[in-house]
A and B are shown apart, each in its own frame.
Chain A
């Protein structure tokens, strides 16, 4: 459904387990093992970083909104679960994904304008490409995605919980950056948008936005959060503790329910409503005062920050959010930030361009 994630085609058809995803990709590789051998590609995460950057570069040139770029990222991921990368010209697919996403997100771009921008951005990769090629590729994209083009993004969920957790401006923008970064991972194909959004909130709470990371943010979108993560081993530990705490509470409550003989109910959310609300109001009042402290004296925030994280954990335990999914999400993001350190733009680009040129996909 258009407004309801639980009834959406995204949940029904485009959310995979890691195992499913690996099997899909293996099948694509097996279609033409010779091709895979002839043109080695960088690890998928590095490839994703590169694709992400290219979408953002084209999007920025055209003045496209974040939401449309995010949708294009998801289209690209969906498409490449069904089509082998080496069979395509990724630059054409990127341009087309953005063209289609702009229409879906109600900020359409003219096909000529977009093709022109794409060609001047990647002059040697789209040599023989005219708008008709984008139009044709659009058919491939829609067909492979079974016309399931409505994408639920974590941004909306994030805005929805901003007040609930009394998130400060800094925390919001860090969470926003984490969501931007998650498009460089497989997470959009693995977890629902609200799980991603809540993970981003947790990371924003534990990873202190540092001044130099914000300054470096202009270079790459992953810059800010990656730097924060690297400088913040303590924060990561805090996130892990919070999630473990939430999980323990859920399990304890499930055990209590089972012991009391209350069968059938899903664990973790019984008659906790009043308790939960009390937690909220407290969280709001303290959240505000903490925001002030954060701006003035970064060093003194450790305690209120911890309190905020603990309230978040308590809220999680009382919700029916899949905490295990959040644990997985957190691990993916942390390991992505580590892997981002080794990313080599030039090397990645060369490997892509090799098969594009060799197979005449640019013509």
Chain B
């Protein structure tokens, strides 16, 4: 940082009417304006392009621990709309200074520059300006969280099966691309799966993604905790040291279930890290999984016993067993029966309850559920993705070959094909709290109040 840079005041170029800038609400554009003097001196960094010269910011979309996302239009005839992700500069006191770019931002910049696939969000450019990083992406009108949310609005109505099928196919296609390129996404969840107005599914937010090819350290060593808790695979919950693209596939299974039922299938509560920063066993989350999937066994998952939290499994409640009366056999066989029952999966029951419960009309009794058409293949795909043993879990490539996609109506490349209604557009707000003084960490999102109730990802940067 050049010493010749005068420390700037918070007022931008609009300081003519200083009194007016005292108002709490500032224009979104202000967030992009120059907070400091331009770098000088021979080594001073100066951006060759300015983000406000190239883009006209038209609103605020969301914020997270990383920074904020804005919607923008090109100023020089660049076609389409854009989402600009602004990483908040780390600040020390009043004046922002260069403190080194976070590893996750570096990963996201490098991976997004390298990736190129129809089902992965497309990076347009990266502008480094005034200690801030602006990543410009193609804009997507929707995301899966928003779509699911829309269907929970009264009257609650299921997502059409053709839409679910297309979403799943495109999502798996994007995953296959990432995985064949040794990229683990590590944070797949509905909020990170974008959908364009043309019905194309785009995997977004590669902030946690990383290459898995011959890492210098074991994958466990760097970021101790990955994947938002509800979508976290059992091998991660049990502290397995080596994990694989299979962790993404578990999350895809959870997303499939959520598209069907409109609720997270394993909605656990996250145990917080204690003061010593040891990673706690996520008992509540694991219990939610066991409630539906049954207890994992070493028969179903041979390497189960080598996970660090294996001993914790015995402290979990077996799933609540409905029906199945026991007759008065002697003690030994009762115990065996109980152990066997504890391992029984209730996923099939969950699946058929879910697809048959949801009705398409305006109330119960208005005909069969539209989801019933997904049939037995839907269950098999779900069970293949929610397989306990990561080695036996479906890979993205195998899932794409699943009969689920080849039976019934052909899969459309537009997940909205045939729909009469249009989903509400992403809410974009015109007001923005001043990014220079008030960017407290936390997840905010325009138009979706329930998002703040969802757990955020927690990552300790290594």
Contact = CB atoms under 8 A, between A and B. Distances in A.
Interface string B35-74: 0000100111101100000000000000000000000000
Given A2-B181, A146-B113, A148-B110, A361 B128 contact: no
Contact of B113 (A68, A107, A149): A149
A291 interface: no
Given A107-B217, A156-B214, A132 B1 contact: yes
Interface in A87-130: 87-89, 92, 99-100, 103-108, 111, 130
Contact of A138 (B42, B98, B113): B98
A297 interface: no
B207 to A, nearest CB: 14
A138 B100 contact: yes
A359 interface: yes
Nearest to A66: B216
B110 A147 contact: yes
Contacts of A143: 45, 47-48, 128
A319 interface: no
B98 A139 contact: yes
Contacts of A147: 109-110, 112-113, 126
Interface in B124-150: 126, 128, 131
B103 interface: yes
Interface in A227-270: none
Given A106-B222, A135-B100, A149-B109, A1 B214 contact: no
Interface in B205-233: 210-211, 213-217, 222
B114 A150 contact: yes
The SS class assigned to the A binding surface is helix
B114 A136 contact: no
B369 interface: no
A4 B44 CA distance: 35
B216 A140 contact: no
Contacts of A108: 103, 461-462
Contacts of B181: 1-4
Interface string A352-363: 000000010100
Nearest to A134: B100
B150 to A, nearest CB: 34
B128 A133 contact: no
Contacts of A111: 99-100
Interface size class of B (residues with CB under 8 A): 35 or more
Given A105-B216, A135-B100, A142 B43 contact: no
Contacts of B101: 103, 135, 138, 142
Contact of A88 (B43, B107, B211): B43
B271 interface: no
A104 B97 contact: no
Contacts of B100: 99, 111, 131, 134-135, 138
B113 A9 contact: yes
B243 interface: no
Contacts of A106: 210-211, 215-217, 222, 462
A3 B98 contact: no
Contacts of A284: none
B213 A3 contact: yes
Contacts of A68: 216
A134 B112 CA distance: 24
Interface of B: 1, 39, 42-45, 47-48, 97-101, 103, 106-107, 109-116, 126, 128, 131, 180-183, 210-211, 213-217, 222, 461-462
9 contacts: A1-B116, A3-B180, A3-B183, A87-B42, A89-B43, A108-B462, A135-B100, A149-B106, A156-B214
Interface of A: 1-4, 7-9, 65, 67-68, 87-89, 92, 99-100, 103-108, 111, 130-140, 142-143, 146-150, 156, 359, 361
